[in-house]
Amino acid sequence: MNIQIDGYNIKYKITGEENEKTAVILQGWGTELGMYDSVANAINSEYRVVQFDLPGFGASDEPKEAWSVEEYSNFFCKFMQALEIKETSLIGHSYGGRMIIRLSTRENLPFEIKKIVLIDSAGIMPKRSAAQKMRIFRYKILKKILLNKVVHYLFEEVIDDWKSRQGSEDYRNASPVMRQCLVKAVNEDLTHLLPMVKHETLLVWGDLDQDTPIEDARLMEKLIPNSGLAVLEGTGHYSFLEQPAVFARIMKTFFNVEG
């Protein structure tokens, strides 16, 4: 299904029986809504579950300009109003977790949050070592030199090849606008907001996660007042896909779903 919000065509789907209990899944960076079918299936026997593609993700229209996490959160509020959802639990993976942390600490949300699940969530900025700081410094200096118009004219192919190999895989695969959105996100540290998250919160994490390491999960568990951590051993950043049966049991327990 598709819905128009602020001129953006947004793809979404709803599974489960018509029910007053609703859960909405907020996706990770660069994913599409179908990746979270197993998450929805874990609870949609008793919950109405909404999956959707954020602007610039999956089959939804891309933002016309670079959005911050706050701007994505604003858009999500409009999405919820368009679907007339007044009360929901929120399930967020990676980037979606960033949004939930921001949303859960807002005042005057147009909907009530019941429970929260953060799966391999982003939001904590990693501390950079001295070596990493030096690499970033060298990169910035080299970038300034190579993007000089004269230098670029003389060595265009070499420089374009160098530019194409910089940054993470997510960054390289993104469009220019979405690259700017990603940069805004990864440079924002939400650690200070964690003690303000008052909702019952389940953290689900892969102990081998390289993108949002298990140390982030343990810090979130420490700082979020009403939280608990479930670790899926031997899994990485997509822990819910790597151990779907274990993940489903954890979800059913947290949401009091039978079966």
The DSSP symbol for 44 reads: T
Going from the N-terminus, what domains does the chain have, and what CATH number goes with each? 2-125+189-254 (3.40.50.1820), 130-182 (no CATH)
Give the pLDDT of residue 104.
97
d(CA 121, CA 93): 6
Identify the three-state secondary structure at position 236.
coil
For residue 181 the two structure tokens come to 């959105």
* One-letter amino acid of 178: M
Identify the three-state secondary structure at position 33.
helix
Give the pLDDT of residue 174.
72
Q: How many CA atoms lie within 13 A of 190 on its CB side?
A: 26
User: What averages of pLDDT result for each successive group of 10 residues across the chain (259 residues)?
Assistant: 97 89 96 98 96 98 96 98 97 98 95 98 76 47 55 53 52 80 92 97 98 97 98 98 98 94
Give the pLDDT of residue 133.
38
Give the pLDDT of residue 126.
75
Give the pLDDT of residue 29.
94
12 - beta bridge partners?
A: 52
Q: Write out the E strands in the chain.
A: 2-5, 8-15, 22-26, 48-52, 87-93, 112-119, 200-206, 227-232
**Distances, alpha carbon 140 to alpha carbons 27, 136, 144, 157, in Å:** 31, 6, 6, 20
Q: Is the pTM of this model over 0.75?
A: yes
